[in-house]
Amino acid sequence: MHIDYLVRMANDIGAFFASEQDQGVAAEAIRQHIQKFWDPRMRSRIVGYYNDTGGKDLEGPVRTAVQRLAEQTAAKA
């Protein structure tokens, strides 16, 4: 799956949680959604994108969510 599509999907998930006033809560909800519903290959690609670019096209809490996934992945390795 192309990374632009994954970035757009992640940002769309973030838009769903945009009404959450607490950005930390929103980021955690986004992280949980990606963890639960995305295929491991998709998660790996978005984490790799974050590691390579700092998540430059990920919006606000989405970037934080993917950062948390990256940290989780690094801790398991």
Predicted confidence (pLDDT) per residue in 20-44, tens digit: 999 999 999 999 999 999 999 999 9
Burial class (CB in 10 A: 0-12, 13-18, 19+), 21: exposed
pLDDT of residue 69: 98
Range of the domain at 14: 3-76
d(CA 20, CA 12): 14
pLDDT of residue 43: 98
Per the structure, the count of domains in the chain is 1
Q: Over the stretch 1-25, which tens digit does the pLDDT of each residue have?
A: 799 999 999 999 999 999 999 999 9
Contact 13, 62 (CB under 8 A): yes
Find the length of the chain: 77
